[in-house]
Amino acid sequence: MNKFTSAVKVLVVDDQALIVEELCEFLEASGYRCVPCESSKQAISRYGEDLQIGLVLCDLHMPDMDGIELVKELQRMSGKHRAFEAIMLTGRADKQDVIKALRAGIADYYQKPIDLHELLEGLQRQEAALEERKKELQLGHLNQKLQFLSESINDLYQDLDKVRRSPQALEGEDVSAEEVGSVDTPAIFNQLSPRQLDVARLVGKGQTNYQIACELGITENTVKLYVSQVLRLTHMHNRTQLALALSPNNSAMRQRVTAH
């Protein structure tokens, strides 16, 4: 039977070498890979070098930089792209120290002499909590990518719409009179989005909501929503007025309909 081995490494920090050795020996026998450190300075260096470190066991009272200051520095190094869970070890359970540690983001604490089996259970709980935090980080990154993709698509639509409306886009191309009429739209329609303009042009051709829905691959309810938006943005009262405004063969009527 294969022995359990955690994918997460444990950073063990204490200024007493015997405690570090004892903790590492026990945790490694329990399936954890440990990174032993005898100072906060060493812990900061090791954490920066090893991205597999996700759990931190640190003594509260250490020279130069105590456990709370160490965790804060590791948090600063992690930023928004890396997560870890910390457990504090202390020789005396001073209430104010504990409160200060919890406010700093340390998940749990144990008083020395430590019950190793209780510590192991606590470490396992924090490993589970770490996995949830990692999922949240991944979801956050995916949301950022989706937002960027959405903005990029919107920019692409706008660029395509500018090209489609540009007279230069017609040069050197064999286009029909109907296509020329579809590009030569009144200025009042410039404020519409590409999809709104597509719906407006199909209304101008006399198509029903059902026909428009089939051609654009959207539902009739969505078509109704677009038509309503177009009428509101162009200050028109009905589909007939909209169709007249887009009619390529009735320029005089178009001028009267679109005049404000």
pLDDT computed for residue 253 by the predictor? 46
Kindly report, as residue ranges, where domains of CATH 1.10.10.10 are found in the chain.
176-258
pLDDT at 58 over 90: yes
| Arithmetic mean of pLDDT, 4-21 | 93
| CATH match of 9-137 with 3.40.50.2300 | yes
- Say how far residue 238 (Cα) sits from the centre of its chain: 42
Sign of the dihedral defined by the CA atoms of residues 51, 88, 70, 100, in that order:
positive
pLDDT computed for residue 167 by the predictor? 57
- Between 125 and 141, name the one with better pLDDT: 125
Kindly report, as residue ranges, where domains of CATH 3.40.50.2300 are found in the chain.
9-137
Complete DSSP assignment for 173-188: ----HHHHHHHS--GG
* CA nearest to 110, candidates 94, 127, 87: 87
| CATH match of 176-258 with 3.10.310.30 | no
pLDDT computed for residue 183 by the predictor? 44
pLDDT computed for residue 31 by the predictor? 94
% of the chain with per-residue pLDDT over 70: 79
pLDDT digits over 144-194, tens only? 777 777 767 766 666 666 666 665 544 544 444 344 344 456 777 888 888
What is the token pair recorded at 184? 């030569």
pTM over 0.85? The answer is no
Average pLDDT of the chain?
82
pLDDT at 72 over 90: yes
pLDDT computed for residue 181 by the predictor? 42
- Between 36 and 196, name the one with better pLDDT: 36
> Can you tell me the distance from the alpha carbon of 71 to that of 43, in angstroms, rounded to the nearest whole number?
10
What is the token pair recorded at 68? 């709370």
pLDDT computed for residue 48 by the predictor? 96
- Between 243 and 76, name the one with better pLDDT: 76
pLDDT at 250 over 60: no
